[in-house]
Structure 1
Amino acid sequence: MKKISLFYIFLIFLFVLSLGFILQTGRNLEPEKKNFHSSQISSEKNTNAKNYPVKTVPLRPDFLDVEAMGKIFSGHLRQPISRLLLQLIIIMLSARFFGKLATLLGQPSVIGEILAGILLGPSLLGLIFPEGFQLLFPKESLSTLQILSQLGLLLFMFVIGMELDLKILKNQAESAVIISHSSIMFPFLLGAGLAYFIYVPLAPEGVDFIAFCLFMGIGMSITAFPVLARIILEKGLTKTTLGSLALTAAAADNVTAWCILAIVVTIVNAGSFSSGILMIVMSLTYMLVMWKGILPLMKRAGNLYTTKESMTKTITAFFFLFIFFSAWITEAIGIHALFGAFLAGVVMPDKKELRDNLVEKIEDFSLTVLLPLFFAFTGLRTKFGLLSSSGLWPVFFLILFVAVLGKLGGSSIASRMSGKNWKDSLSIGILMNTRGLMELIVLNIGYDLGVLSEEIFSMMVLMALATTIMTGPGLKFVEFLFTKESFTTTNTGILISFAQHSRGLELLKIAYGLFPEKKKRER
């Protein structure tokens, strides 16, 4: 054995022996310390100094005291940071697992992530393992979870705003706006009508009808733009007319719905007509400042900072500060911080390199770590047991029917009126019926404002999940329906050409031009 190894062993032995001697000898000072402390009590009574208790950890000769070790370990688990780390581990594992499972089943991964959050809540985990649920998600830990989830939503909404290409709104503006606004007005009106019938038994105590009605309307009207974009990409529809129109309509829907939501939140928070008008004016002023003042400045910044080398930590910090400042402004106005983050993303420079760099810095962490916390927090608020105990399942199916009828029906009719065939019209309607994450954001805002009760919140969450799950199978059903129909038509034929085959179609056109009745008879 080398000398250095022997020295190392000797050093460890000397350290342990010396430390043990100091600790054992120091224990003899404890009686003297108690006497000294008691002699100081009378003099300290007349001072304003605070006495903080000192926790003593006695050295036990029995190092295998399982009961004591269990208590110490349990105490460590109940520490806020320890519990938060455990929550992060379980939530992230569940989100990844169920997200992958949903992908394997042909569904967007967000479906699995939402489902994971619901399963971790009182609807399943709290039902089958209440002790573990209380240990993992006690009430005092939910505030931290909510703040982190809101931070994740801020970054997510910034990315959504940044990825919203306003140019596509100009290319198909007329059809897209008509389809988009029809897909908002139809379900909004139906949701408002439904609110009239369920307000008395299901609205929270003290909530006025206008606030409840408006939130039921906007809750029915949302389209999940990011989920829809992912579905269109996975289906290979990005460069098709159908995919482009659906994406444009969803983008217009996204902008319009968030503006309506901002107005609804303003009305709910205002408390009076004059304060409501003031909040709306302030909101419009801020949007105008962002559009006319900040957007040109951001375009100039985009010309300077595009490459990864130019995106220094200082520049990155500036963009983060811009996100948080914009979110703070809209929160201070009263229209929610998420709207400010979304608006900050919309006015970002239209430079692909810059946007890709920012998305790379933000999206991975926010989508992987923080956003699953939002799903889990939503799941903790969702209580499907209330539907069974209160006999509310018929009400849920009514909500689901109204939501699908308004969104799918309104979008399909508007698309058909704009000149699309029934296949494309129904496909657009099914795509616009996708709600997903955006719906959950609206519902949580309504819940935080006290406008939505636990029962309504749970039913609307389930409706959002169901309508998003419908999208993939619905598109396949429409494809099957119209493909089957095309096999039964006689409007197709086979052209067999010899020699110069390229002239076959030209000769056929000439023949049909000379004998048009032959073409009609063959058809």
Structure 2
Amino acid sequence: MILVMARVAGRIAHRLGQPAVIGEIVGGLLLGPTLFQGALAHTLFPTDIRPYLSALANLGLVLFMFVVGYEVDFGRLRGCGRIAVGTVLGSAVVPFALGALLALHLLRERHPASRAGFILFIAVAVSVTAFPVLARILTDRRMSGTWLGTIALSSAAVCDLVAWSALAAVQVLAGTAGQSPWWVLLIVPYAVVLITRGRPLLERALRGGGPEGPASAGSLAVVLIGLLVSAAVTQALGLHFVLGAFLFGLVMPRGEGTGLKDVLLPRVQFTTTLLLPVYFIVAGLNVDLSRIGASGLWDLGLILAVAVTGKFAGTWLGARSQGLPARRSAVLATLMNTRGLTELIALSVGLQIGLLDGGLYSEMVVMAVVTTVMTGPLLRCFARPGDREPVRQE
């Protein structure tokens, strides 16, 4: 049923000019407690089966975050020059500052586990750009590989790195299940070992994966084992397991000239296609929009205003400061305002570590959906055929 829902909702979203993942997210929310006072959710997903759904959803998250890290291509940064730098600074600093001010306002009626962690988390949450959804939108709009598309993807990759690093700091501030915060600092030597020792070992293991090379079952097994171990290590250190999966994807050898990436990604993405709809259901079970009162609507409007204004204005100003024309800066700002699934994952971390309550989590999920839905219509307003020009070197 979940897979049928995802397929139907994805097709509807695609016909409306939206990425399929938006339909899947909205479908997951509608199957939650929002409709019929939760009767539909309790009938379809009884309490005793929800832990099993969560296990499948977590496995899907691990694979998805691996793909996100694996698709980060630092080679794109070459040739983007100062405009990419201006875009990154504007799309990170401005929404971060506005998000911190928003957090101070939200703190007046809330008492999270850590005030400092809450402020940092809200600032990070409104600064996120969804790299995978952005890549899909660029492909659908035939802007993948264009100059503007390359700058947007490069900037989104850097923003993702900053966001997930800041999220690790948030977990330290919020406390980690009774562990000493200093224990979390072991993530630094772990990352160093993974880069300096793990990557060469992976290259040798994947090169000798068998007669089929990177296409062999042995190569896939090596990758999956390493991925799950990395996720388990970060969880053992008191951080969320998605950080370990993302880090493992970053250090994976790209195998230029061997076809390694072209072989591995479709196999992993097929699995995420099966498991991510389960995550949307699990996330939707925590969202009850029917209980948002007048104060919740006010907070939701404020969250949307801060998220859209901060990301759009920050990116626009950053690009304009480096000489990009106003309209093309608006196209870039529209692309960077995309949040989607990456935002949902970050929000789930905040919910699990006690920084978000149910009401605020629901409002932030709505913000993630609305800002992603905005991308298509705004692109139709600002984009022109000339924006599909190929990458140029500066």
TM-score, normalised to structure 1, is 0.70
Contact kept, 8 Å, 1:176 with 1:252, in 2: the verdict is no
Deviation at 1:396, TM superposition (A): 0.6
Q: Residue 382 of structure 2 aligns to a residue in which SS? A: helix
Match status 1:468 vs 2:360: no
In the alignment, the residues of structure 1 paired with residue 96 and residue 241 of structure 2 have an alpha-carbon distance, to the nearest angstrom, of 24
Given candidates 64, 71, 86, the residue that maps to 1:178 is 86
Deviation at 1:381, TM superposition (A): 0.6
Given candidates 160, 163, 167, the residue that maps to 2:75 is 167
**Corresponding residue for residue 109 of structure 1:** 20
Match status 1:257 vs 2:163: yes
Given candidates 104, 107, 116, the residue that maps to 1:199 is 107
Deviation at 1:170, TM superposition (A): 3.6
Count of aligned pairs: 384
Match status 1:321 vs 2:232: no
In the alignment, the residues of structure 2 paired with residue 326 and residue 436 of structure 1 have an alpha-carbon distance, to the nearest angstrom, of 25
Contact kept, 8 Å, 1:308 with 1:357, in 2: the verdict is no
Given candidates 273, 277, 281, the residue that maps to 1:372 is 277
Deviation at 1:462, TM superposition (A): 0.3
- Deviation string 1:310-352 (CA, Å, 9 cap, x unpaired) is 5433332221110001111111112211111111111112125
In the alignment, the residues of structure 1 paired with residue 63 and residue 359 of structure 2 have an alpha-carbon distance, to the nearest angstrom, of 29
Deviation at 1:362, TM superposition (A): 1.6
In the alignment, the residues of structure 1 paired with residue 34 and residue 281 of structure 2 have an alpha-carbon distance, to the nearest angstrom, of 12
In the alignment, the residues of structure 2 paired with residue 211 and residue 244 of structure 1 have an alpha-carbon distance, to the nearest angstrom, of 33
In the alignment, the residues of structure 1 paired with residue 335 and residue 370 of structure 2 have an alpha-carbon distance, to the nearest angstrom, of 13
**Corresponding residue for residue 99 of structure 1:** 10
Deviation at 1:208, TM superposition (A): 2.9
Contact kept, 8 Å, 1:306 with 1:354, in 2: the verdict is no
| 1:476/1:307 CA distance change after superposition, 3 Å | farther
Match status 1:351 vs 2:255: yes
| 1:172/1:479 CA distance change after superposition, 3 Å | closer
**Corresponding residue for residue 391 of structure 2:** none
Contact kept, 8 Å, 1:298 with 1:347, in 2: the verdict is no
| 1:181/1:262 CA distance change after superposition, 3 Å | farther
Unaligned runs of 5+ in 1: 1-89, 484-523
Larger RCO (CA within 8 A; separation ≥ 6):
2
Match status 1:340 vs 2:252: no
- Deviation string 1:176-214 (CA, Å, 9 cap, x unpaired) is 24322321221121111111112132x3x4523112211
In the alignment, the residues of structure 1 paired with residue 146 and residue 167 of structure 2 have an alpha-carbon distance, to the nearest angstrom, of 31
In the alignment, the residues of structure 2 paired with residue 114 and residue 345 of structure 1 have an alpha-carbon distance, to the nearest angstrom, of 24
Letter in 2 for 1:371: L
Contact kept, 8 Å, 2:207 with 2:214, in 1: the verdict is no
Contact kept, 8 Å, 1:302 with 1:350, in 2: the verdict is no
Given candidates 220, 228, 238, the residue that maps to 2:134 is 228
Deviation at 1:306, TM superposition (A): 9.2
Deviates further, 298-307 or 468-477: 298-307
Deviation at 1:133, TM superposition (A): 3.0
In the alignment, the residues of structure 2 paired with residue 275 and residue 207 of structure 1 have an alpha-carbon distance, to the nearest angstrom, of 16
Contact kept, 8 Å, 1:145 with 1:373, in 2: the verdict is yes
Deviation at 1:473, TM superposition (A): 0.5
In the alignment, the residues of structure 1 paired with residue 112 and residue 340 of structure 2 have an alpha-carbon distance, to the nearest angstrom, of 29
Q: Residue 179 of structure 1 aligns to a residue in which SS? A: helix
| 1:346/1:199 CA distance change after superposition, 3 Å | same
Given candidates 330, 340, 352, the residue that maps to 1:426 is 330
In the alignment, the residues of structure 2 paired with residue 460 and residue 312 of structure 1 have an alpha-carbon distance, to the nearest angstrom, of 42
Q: Residue 365 of structure 2 aligns to a residue in which SS? A: helix
Letter in 2 for 1:116: G
Match status 1:288 vs 2:288: no
In the alignment, the residues of structure 1 paired with residue 146 and residue 272 of structure 2 have an alpha-carbon distance, to the nearest angstrom, of 31
Deviation at 1:307, TM superposition (A): 7.8
| 1:419/1:302 CA distance change after superposition, 3 Å | farther
Contact kept, 8 Å, 2:214 with 2:263, in 1: the verdict is no
TM-score, normalised to structure 2, is 0.91
**Corresponding residue for residue 31 of structure 2:** 120
Deviation at 1:304, TM superposition (A): 4.0
Contact kept, 8 Å, 2:32 with 2:285, in 1: the verdict is yes
Match status 1:215 vs 2:126: no
In the alignment, the residues of structure 2 paired with residue 305 and residue 424 of structure 1 have an alpha-carbon distance, to the nearest angstrom, of 46
- Deviation string 1:15-47 (CA, Å, 9 cap, x unpaired) is xxxxxxxxxxxxxxxxxxxxxxxxxxxxxxxxx
Match status 1:360 vs 2:266: yes
Deviation at 1:138, TM superposition (A): 2.2
In the alignment, the residues of structure 2 paired with residue 283 and residue 313 of structure 1 have an alpha-carbon distance, to the nearest angstrom, of 30
Contact kept, 8 Å, 1:447 with 1:453, in 2: the verdict is yes
In the alignment, the residues of structure 1 paired with residue 315 and residue 336 of structure 2 have an alpha-carbon distance, to the nearest angstrom, of 7
Unaligned runs of 5+ in 2: 388-394
In the alignment, the residues of structure 2 paired with residue 375 and residue 225 of structure 1 have an alpha-carbon distance, to the nearest angstrom, of 18
Matches within 5 A, 1:379-390: 379-388=284-293, 390=294
Matches within 5 A, 1:142-157: 142-157=50-65
In the alignment, the residues of structure 2 paired with residue 117 and residue 395 of structure 1 have an alpha-carbon distance, to the nearest angstrom, of 23
CA RMSD across the alignment: 2.2
Contact kept, 8 Å, 1:302 with 1:349, in 2: the verdict is no
| 1:349/1:140 CA distance change after superposition, 3 Å | same
Q: Residue 292 of structure 2 aligns to a residue in which SS? A: helix
Computing the radius of gyration from Cα coordinates, the structure with the larger value is 1
In the alignment, the residues of structure 2 paired with residue 182 and residue 143 of structure 1 have an alpha-carbon distance, to the nearest angstrom, of 41
Deviation at 1:386, TM superposition (A): 1.6
Deviation at 1:254, TM superposition (A): 1.2
Q: Residue 183 of structure 1 aligns to a residue in which SS? A: helix
Q: Residue 330 of structure 1 aligns to a residue in which SS? A: helix
